[in-house]
Amino acid sequence: MIVAEAKPIEEVLAMIDRYDKIILAGCKECVAVCAAGGEKEVQLLASALRTARKTAGREIEIREVTLERQCDPEYVEGIRGFAGDYQAILSIACGVGVQYMAEHYKTIPALPGLNTSFMGGSLEQGVWSERCQGCGSCVLHLTGGICPITRCSKSLLNGPCGGSAQGKCEVDPEIECGWQLIIDRLKALGEFEARFVELFPVRDWSTSRDGGQRKIVREDLKQ
Amino acid sequence: MKTESRLEKILDKGAFAVTSECGPPRGADPDVIREKGKLLKGVVDAANITDCQTSVVRMSSFASCLILKEMGFDPILQMVTRDRNRIAIQSDILGAAALGINNMLCLSGDHQRFGDHPQAKNVYDIDSIQLIMTVKKMRDEGKFLNDEELTKPPKLFIGAAANPFADPFEIRALRLAKKVAAGVQFIQTQCIFNLDRFAEWMRQVVDMGLHERVAILGGVTPLKSVGMGKYMKNLVPGMDVPDAIIERLKGVEKEKQSAEGIKICIESIQRLREMEGVRGVHIMAIEWEEKVKEIAEGAGLLPRPKV
């Protein structure tokens, strides 16, 4: 899923400072699962913003909505009926949701209430970790199912650098060395000898962000 | 292909090579390089210029190499893949070769987290092994990475680093084998303080026959004090400083610690010279270039052979 976290409330308050009537829009997909932008977070943030503005002597009207998905035109259109009555849309979906709001409501400012962080999963209650960078050319079958581009801090493709120590990355002892994980996994699979010695050639990054904004067209699904 | 590299000639001759390095200044003063150069003149076969080591901005390796070149050195251009994509890298390789640089050390570089600009984006379009492949392809095939032909191949003697002290230890010789397969010709290792572990790595390297395909120069660094030893042990990534070394420094008076550090360094070189497969030494006297001559002399490495 896409993992995001709330922006500091001071930053959000500064963003909405000139408005007194806004929509606060959550999303029931990834950001709800990672407890950053679902229905519950909409309620909590709305309440915190109202209190802060009341204390500052400038009350704010907030309309709370939580859409099924903010990355889908059908649901984004769901607020069409009343959007024009508000000065801004504060979205606590991922960056995709904020941009869909901006694209659909051309005269209403769309503001981000979250920092969209990464594609990852949960490790335990309250802990999420990055797994994929969406490089557009998956190599997981060659690296024991562990991504060198995401898990190695330097995205090295030919083994660990000289900074790997006791399974940890030189960048931060909290970060596991991605290549240590890959090596351990390849050994467990009995693939180490075959895979590790092979030279990984220079990569084509044009499938990644480096090729410009990406788009997938599925002719079989288009109407 | 043979290059004009003095280091390559020294190694071809079978002599025990001596290299050292200069850290460029955090400013535009060329005299800093010249002063360091004077200290190394006649002492080394080739001198590296580091490329923003520890991710701290300094004068470029390329420019600093040219300053050393003017002084009659055969500089070793260090290049990290952290800061350049393949377009910049290939461009700099051509420029370096055009201006008479004969040696290049291919590195991935320290992560910018350690440096003075931790907010920077890193590049890592290619890694250090792919950088070796890139130089080799340009030199031997006369082609860019996209397979298009280039007009005049850059004649560079290709080097890389190896850290026998990083984990996992059991893949360190295999990783060297990958660099050899990629086309590396000389290796300068991480600073060696734990000679036993280094000897174990060398044994693996020799067992794999890699020492016959690549010239390995053992890296040594003189410790100035107990404090420096502890710093290297605890805070520098990939460094293995045994307690015995720190205890030995502690055992002498404070003002004699630097002399003891130099003594340890000389003893290390003597032990390295006896190891099968070690073809030279790379003396990294960090901001202590004035001691390189004393170390080389003490280890019986002077005068340097003429080529």
- Structure confidence by residue, pLDDT tens digits, A144-164: 999 999 999 999 999 999 999
For chain B, residues with pLDDT lower than 50 are: none
**Which positions in chain B touch A203 (Cβ < 8 Å)?**
126
For chain A, residues with pLDDT lower than 50 are: none
- Cβ contacts from A onto B, under 8 A: 97
Residues of A with CB under 8 A from a CB of B: 153-167, 170-172, 177, 180, 183, 196-197, 199-203, 205
Strands B103-107 and B157-162: parallel
**Which positions in chain B touch A161 (Cβ < 8 Å)?**
108, 128, 163, 166, 238
Supply the pLDDT for residue A55: 98
Contact A205 B178 (CB under 8 A): no
Q: Least CA distance to B134: which residue of chain A? A: A202
- How is residue B255 annotated by DSSP? G
Q: Least CA distance to A187: which residue of chain B? A: B171
Strands B17-22 and B46-49: parallel
Is the CATH number 3.20.20.220 carried by domain B6-298?
Answer: yes
**Which positions in chain B touch A200 (Cβ < 8 Å)?**
129-130
How close A118 comes to chain B (CA, Å)? 16
Domain architecture of chain A: domains with CATH: 2-118 (3.40.50.2300), 133-210 (no CATH)
Give percent of chain A above pLDDT 90. 97
Q: Least CA distance to A177: which residue of chain B? A: B167
Across the interface, of A156, A158, A167, the residue whose CB is closest to B167 is: A167
Residues of B with CB under 8 A from a CB of A: 82, 86, 108, 110-111, 113-114, 122, 124-130, 133-134, 145, 161-163, 165-168, 171, 174-175, 177-178, 181-182, 190, 237-238
Supply the pLDDT for residue A80: 98
**Structure tokens that stand for B118 in this block:** 């931790």
For B182-210, b/e burial (b = at least 16 CB within 10 A) is: bbbbbbbbbbbbbbebbbebbebbbeeeb
**Length of chain A in residues, anyone?**
223
Q: Least CA distance to B124: which residue of chain A? A: A154
Say whether B90 sits in a helix, a strand or coil: helix
Cis amide leading into B303 (omega within 30) = yes
Give percent of chain A above pLDDT 70. 100
How close A210 comes to chain B (CA, Å)? 10
User: How large is the ipTM?
Assistant: 0.94
- What is the amino acid identity at position B137? K
- How far apart CA B84 and CA B64 sit, in angstroms, is 18
- Give domain limits for chain B: 6-298
Helix (H) or strand (E) holding B298: helix B292-298
